[in-house]
Amino acid sequence: MLSKYSIRALTLLRFPRYEFSQQQQKQREQQDDWDERTIEAEEANPTLENKEKAFSYFRLFSRIFWWTTSALFGYNLYLNNYKTDPTQELGYQKQINDAAKYCQDQYQAFYDFMTKPAIDKLLPDIPELPFGYEIPKTLVLNISGTLLHMDYVFGVGGEIKRRNGLQRFLEKLPKMYEVVILSDDETMFTQQITQKLDPTRQIFAGAFGRESMVFEKGRYIRDLKYINRPLNRVIVLDSDPERMYQYQDNGIFIKPFDGKQNDEVLKDVLLLLEHLSKPQIKDVRAELRKFGNFDPQIKYLDEVKAREINIKQTMNKGFFSIMNQRKNPQFDQSRRQ
């Protein structure tokens, strides 16, 4: 036997349009009453209907004007970017084209402000030197992962470790290069580290953080044109080649420093830098190509050792061998006999 709830459910299934809500019924009655009053008001006042028609025409005209202007604006923006002479193209409108160019310039200025260094020249212009003096080459250094390593120690905080031979490395560089720090660390951290490494300010010609780099593709990129130095005389010492993918020919990319003290990389790199600082090397990029940009100090030291072996072999042949024998005491003893 069906209950009263089952009978009600069957009724709803059989009659899907059954209105069971009294609130909805009241709302519909109020809406019908409002429509009747509106019709009566329009019949009593014919100017109201004319006003509504005029307003609807105005809205239609506004929409047409807005979409037409937007289409012309986008088209003129396209002409400015992809056409050499927009004035000769169909659909060119001077006022709209000027507005598109202004908006594009403002957007580009804001984008450059957010992603590029605040100044175009990080280093001042090279002064005129007397005849016979040569301007030193520029060496750009990175801090984290290249010269230092920072660990977080529980209960102590941040602990900074220096790469083995760093102090001697920095003391030798100013005699050969104009040394500049351009790190992907924050500027405040970079300046604090620079003050610790160079308290007398005799090593570094400038210290710049990530705010002086270009933000591109979600990371900070080192753009060497802001250094304001000839690229054939600029060397960058870093551990991450992706930070300067456009200028990898200028880079010496070494293994990242992980805090271990048995690291002798800086000692070997210093020998390579002494070689690159020679005046007869006019383009450091061409010289680095001989050894490669990834750990080039290894190939350079192998070449130096091979050269020493060849010199020793040459000294043991011909005239040099006779001279060496004359210096040998056994040679003098046999000659007396």
Kindly state the tokens that stand for 85.
């002479």
What are the CB-based long-range contacts (under 8 Å, 24+) for 156-164? 160/193, 161/257, 161/259, 161/261, 163/257, 163/263, 163/265, 163/266, 164/261, 164/262, 164/263, 164/264, 164/266, 164/267
Residue with the two structure tokens 């802001």 = 226
The residue among 292, 167, 176, 172 whose CA lies nearest residue 233 is 176
Indicate the DSSP class of residue 212: G
Return the pLDDT at 15: 46
In the chain, domain spans:
53-115, 137-294, 299-332
Domain spanning 137-294, CATH class: alpha beta
Return the pLDDT at 203: 95
The residue among 235, 273, 244, 241 whose CA lies nearest residue 254 is 241
Return the pLDDT at 159: 87
Return the pLDDT at 333: 45
The residue among 51, 60, 91 whose CA lies nearest residue 73 is 91
The residue among 164, 162, 173 whose CA lies nearest residue 197 is 162
pLDDT per residue of the chain (337 residues) written in tens, 0 to 9: 444 444 444 444 444 444 446 777 778 887 777 777 666 665 566 665 566 667 788 888 888 999 999 999 999 999 999 998 998 888 898 999 999 999 999 999 999 999 999 899 999 998 888 887 888 999 999 999 999 998 877 777 788 999 999 999 999 999 999 999 999 999 999 999 999 999 999 999 999 999 999 999 889 999 999 999 999 999 999 999 999 989 999 999 999 998 887 888 999 999 999 999 999 999 999 999 999 999 999 999 999 999 999 888 887 775 555 555 555 554 454 444 4
Query: For the chain, what is the total number of helices (H) and then of strands (E)?
Result: 11, 9
Kindly state the tokens that stand for 197.
């490494």
∠ CA 99-214-210, nearest 5°, is 135
pTM of the model: 0.74
Contact 111, 150 (CB under 8 A): no
